[in-house]
Amino acid sequence: AQSVTQLGSHVSVSEGALVLLRCNYSSSVPPYLFWYVQYPNQGLQLLLKYTSAATLVKGINGFEAEFKKSETSFHLTKPSAHMSDAAEYFCAVRDTGGGNKLTFGTGTQLKVEL
């Protein structure tokens, strides 16, 4: 079964600093990987997805992620954090069974400080 592991349940950065949220995957086949963001009391919103095309994926709000097969990683980055980036971020992998089922990681809460 496919799975993702998010390292660090809480990450704190200063405004303007680099954001790095870690995600490692486990999959026996090339995975489809996703990053979602969840603001308080809201549903999840897709930030970006990797579907085996370019290894560097650009998403919304200045975020990007790089697929590294050798490291089985798909870390999310943003060069300069903004206060509005404070939210919970989830990494997810799509099931290979063809049903579009997503398996999510446990999430990373990002705090942005002045």
Partner 1 sequence: EAGVAQSPRYKIIEKRQSVAFWCNPISGHATLYWYQQILGQGPKLLIQFQNNGVVDDSQLPKDRFSAERLKGVDSTLKIQPAKLEDSAVYLCASSLAGSSNEQFFGPGTRLTVL
Smaller CB distance to partner 1: residue 24 or 103?
103
Positions touching partner 1 (CB under 8 A) are 9, 32, 36, 41-46, 49, 51, 90, 92, 94, 98-107
Q: Where are the beta strands (DSSP E) in 1-114?
A: 3-7, 10-14, 19-26, 33-38, 44-50, 56-58, 64-68, 73-78, 87-94, 102-104, 108-113
Q: How far is the CB of 65 from partner 1 (least distance, A)?
A: 16
Smaller CB distance to partner 1: residue 16 or 101?
101
Smaller CB distance to partner 1: residue 42 or 70?
42
Q: How far is the CB of 93 from partner 1 (least distance, A)?
A: 11
CA dihedral 78, 4, 28, 97 (to 10 degrees): -100
Q: How far is the CB of 88 from partner 1 (least distance, A)?
A: 9
Give the single-character DSSP code of 8. -
Smaller CB distance to partner 1: residue 3 or 14?
3
Q: How far is the CB of 43 from partner 1 (least distance, A)?
A: 3
CA distance 39 to 27: 28
